[in-house]
Structure 1
Amino acid sequence: MGAAALAMGAVLTVGSANAADEPRLTAALGDEVLKLIDIAPKGTKVLVNDAMVLEDRDSALVSFVNAYTLDGRWLLLLKAESDAKDCPARFRVLELSSPKPRVSPPFGSCSDAAEVATDGGVMTVTMPVPASKDIAAWTYRDGRIARTR
């Protein structure tokens, strides 16, 4: 089985998070519900089925990039945006289809131009390396992220 970005079974709603604890984004992915809630003064809570799986207070904003189905599992790519000029973006993979949702550590080359490929049970995220002509790559497999290029 291959992968699909925002495949059938995914519903996404975007709201304005004016009131406390109101989601900025809600996404139904299969039997799971993802919520992104802004927290003050900066940061984001990531909830799956109303259970918090990540609280990021280091980033200015955590956003949903896309969702992928891979061999029957939902994998989401999240982008943590920073105010730092030298590293404006880092990424995380959130896997919903394990017994307990898993979140990878932050990764990336500080570029916000990520491209995703899936094959053979593996999700690969590539992006340019700023101030270089190199391309960096990270592979997510079985709950682990590793730099592969």
Structure 2
Amino acid sequence: MEPERSSTRRREEDLTLVCEDFSVFQRRLKDARLVDDRLVYAINTNVPTESFISTENADDQCHKLQQQILQAQADRRWLITSCIRIAEASVSRLKAADSKSSTSSHVSASVRKEMSKVRMMQSELNVEDVLEDRAEKVLHDRCRIPYGTRGS
């Protein structure tokens, strides 16, 4: 059990480091979004056209791509919501410190900065919605995977 516990602790520390600095958070999201960015290319190279459909199993290729996309989307959404929770907890701590402090101008600036970070992270959820809709449309158009099968 010890290795599992230390692995979890390292993951939490890594998550905290990613969430503390918004630029690191954005870089991590950018890297994680490469799967979606390359979806059309992956479909064009992995899913055969009608003339080659007998030599390749298009359904299997589409299903594999769909599973990769769904996993990447779930991982990104988890990262974003986890970072939002961490940032909101930081805002709460700073607000509590602000109410106790006599030098509130420095703490208030920190609160505003953290609240701004929370709003920017929340806007990334909207970006995720757009990316998920786009991926679903591409998969539907090319693979004929029905709309609304997200997560199945």
Bigger RCO (CA 8 Å, 6+ sep): 2
TM tier, shorter chain?
under 0.3
Q: Normalised by the size of structure 2, how large is the TM-score?
A: 0.23
- Greater strand fraction, Structure 1 or Structure 2: 1
- Greater helix fraction, Structure 1 or Structure 2: 2
Highest CA radius of gyration, 1 or 2? 2
